Amino acid sequence: MVSSSFADRTYPKLVLFDVDGTLTPARQSVSQEMIDTLKALRKKVVVGIVGGSDFNKISEQLSVNGSNIIDDFDYAFAENGLTAYRLGKPLESQSFIKCLGEDKYKTMVKYVLHYIADLDIPIKRGTFIELRNGMMNVSPMGRNATIAERNEFEAYDKIHGVRLAFVQLLRKEFADYGLTFSIGGQISFDVFPTGWDKTYCLRHVEGEGFEEIHFFGDKTYKGGNDYEIFTDPRTIGHSVTSPADTIRVLKELFLS
């Protein structure tokens, strides 16, 4: 039996969405068509988002005209669920730095910044490491990049494998740290304790009595940051290619 909080929905099902590439173009805002589709969907099922980015970035992308994502979605999971809200209320969360410890974190920061300093790529900007509540985000070009610069780096990286070589090295160098290195977006990769991938958010919905949990994501291939939750036996995974594709599948499955 689904929790009484969700008794008003037609189906006792939860539908979770990745953000970048699934609900919005990478790091860009949500379209009105997507908002309307999600509103219609929320009448039928329970709806949540699970993004790798931090809460503020996801909010910026999904909020329109002053709306608030913690009210617009039944569940809002940022940083894979390390920052979590259910029906507007925060759920308990953990911290990357506490889990890893200051000394190990410092060792890794030194290594990463030395490596980036010596890296020869077409352009570099600022903010090469961003420490978040549940993860560390590393960007070889730096996070202070424009959309055009991001797109250029992404294209360059596809050819030269800058991030892939970097994470392969870190996996070897820090093999005993119990960390996962995940390339999810365009210009960076995420580092978090193994198990703190998007499946982390599922612990917040266990016990709600959902008949099915659907997950929509675009990086569902092995090594992509949607892979673990997409292949998890607790979810029914849907691999989509763009926000328009997400709308198409939602119409087919839930809105026709």
Distance (Å, whole) CA 250 – CA 233: 21
Supply the minimum distance, in Å, between the C-beta of residue 161 and ligand M1P.
15
Which member of 9, 13, 23, 27 binds ligand M1P (CB under 6 A)? Answer: 27
Residue 57 vs 86, nearer CB to ligand M1P: 57
- Piece in contact with ligand M1P (CB under 6 A), picked from 107-115, 117-125, 182-190, 247-255: 182-190
Who's near 163: CB < 8 A, 6+ residues apart?
A: 140, 157, 183, 188, 189
Single-letter code of the amino acid located at 54: D
Distance (Å, whole) CA 150 – CA 92: 33
- Piece in contact with ligand M1P (CB under 6 A), picked from 48-56, 65-73, 173-181, 198-206: 48-56
As annotated, the binding site for alpha-D-mannose 1-phosphate includes: 27, 132, 143, 150, 188, 190
* Residue number, nearest CB to ligand M1P: 185
Q: Which residues are catalytic?
A: 18, 20
CA dihedral 56, 17, 155, 53 (to 10 degrees): 20
Which member of 51, 81, 140, 142 binds ligand M1P (CB under 6 A)? Answer: 51
Which member of 24, 61, 225, 235 binds ligand M1P (CB under 6 A)? Answer: 225
- Piece in contact with ligand M1P (CB under 6 A), picked from 20-28, 40-48, 173-181, 191-199: 20-28
Distance of CA 221 to the CA centre of its chain: 14
Residue 186 vs 220, nearer CB to ligand M1P: 186
As annotated, the binding site includes: 18, 20, 27, 132, 143, 150, 188, 190, 218, 230, 232, 235
Query: Does 53 contact ligand M1P by CB under 6 A?
Result: yes
Q: Closest Cα partner for 10 from 37, 49, 35, 47? A: 47
Distance (Å, whole) CA 113 – CA 70: 35
Distance (Å, whole) CA 53 – CA 78: 6
Distance (Å, whole) CA 26 – CA 40: 23
How crowded is residue 55: how many other Cβ atoms within 10 Å of its Cβ?
A: 21
Q: Which of residues 189-218 bind ligand M1P (CB under 6 A)?
A: 190
What is the contact surface with ligand M1P in residues (CB under 6 A)? 19-20, 26-27, 51-53, 57, 137, 184-188, 190, 225
